[in-house]
Amino acid sequence: MKIATWNINSVRLRINNVVRFLEVEQPDVLCLQETKAQDHDFPITALHAAGYTHTIFSGEKSYNGVALISRVPLKNVQKNEFAGKQDKRHISAELPGGAVLHNFYVPAGGDIPDRNQNEKFGHKLDFVDGMRGWFGKHASKKAPMILVGDLNIAPLEHDVWSHKQLLDVVSHTPIEVEKLTSLQEHLGWVDASRHFVPHSEKLYSWWSYRNQDWKKSDRGRRLDHIWVTEPLQKGLSKSTILKEMRDWEQPSDHVPVVLEIAV
């Protein structure tokens, strides 16, 4: 099975890019974040026409929003809330074969990495804690699960262009990394992208719009992740980050992360 995750930064603006991606890459399931569309505005017709008839979504006006765009049947759809807000940051479903796929959009967290000065940072920390609490209550290490999404945290030294310069920049601060690592270790999640790329190698999935030439400056971060639980580890076969899509016309600032896996 081929699973992809992509922060699309408005699914309506970029629906043609989504369809082009589906045609070129042929994923079984594409997980989107930041769809920024209410459910009645979701551009479902183009996706059905492309063969992705099992498409589910959870959106709100202007902000957030997640979707599973699938050409295989999905069962037991869930939309959960974390950190005490009714925002649309999670959707999950069971894949053929029984593995459960969770798609998350973790809050970005604002600019100041201090929850006393910036409640958005507090919300982000609470959200990641909430994820850990949820999996502690509802899941086990033995369950075959795939967790994907824009986690808005780049945990490893070479997940950012400069470890030193980003230590106090939201997305790479020690407290965020600690919470994400705690979530990861709790159920023994395997980082599928890093499974195929040494930790010493730079690996990014996001480049800011605020650079004259994103490729030349290459100030990227790996904010988008695909994790699997241990029962699925032996099935991992290939993982890619489609960096070249950052050069597509009117691109998202994120590019897709893709995994091929036996489930």
Partner DNA sequence: ATGGTTGGTTACCAA
Does 164 participate in binding DNA (rule CB under 7 A)?
no
Does 13 participate in binding DNA (rule CB under 7 A)?
yes
Q: List binders of DNA among 209-238 (CB under 7 A).
A: 209-210
For DNA, the binding residue among 24, 63, 163, 218 (CB under 7 A) is 63
The 139-158 contact track toward DNA, x by CB under 7 A, reads --------------------
Specify the DSSP element, H or E, that contains 129.
helix 119-138
Distance between CA atoms of residues 19 and 25, nearest Å? 10
241-248: long-range contacts at Cβ-Cβ below 8 A with a sequence spacing of 24 or more? 241/193, 241/203, 241/204, 241/205, 242/25, 243/204, 245/21, 246/207, 246/214, 246/215, 247/215, 248/17, 248/20
Instruction: Report the residue number, 168 or 185, with the smaller CB distance to DNA.
Output: 168
Does 250 participate in binding DNA (rule CB under 7 A)?
yes
Q: Which stretch binds DNA (CB under 7 A): 72-80, 93-101, 103-111, 135-143?
A: 103-111
Query: Given the DSSP bridges, would you call strands 224-228 and 145-150 parallel, antiparallel or unpaired?
Result: antiparallel
Distance between CA atoms of residues 149 and 234, nearest Å? 21
Total residues at interface with DNA (CB under 7 A): 17
- Contact yes or no for 100/55 (Cβ under 8 A): no
For DNA, the binding residue among 3, 6, 30, 36 (CB under 7 A) is 36
Which residues touch 97 (CB under 8 Å, ≥6 apart)?
A: 1, 144, 263
Closest distance between DNA and the C-beta of residue 109, in Å?
Answer: 7
The 173-212 contact track toward DNA, x by CB under 7 A, reads ------------------------------------xx--
Question: Which residues lie near DNA (CB under 7 A)?
Answer: 9-10, 12-13, 34, 36, 61-63, 107-110, 120, 209-210, 250
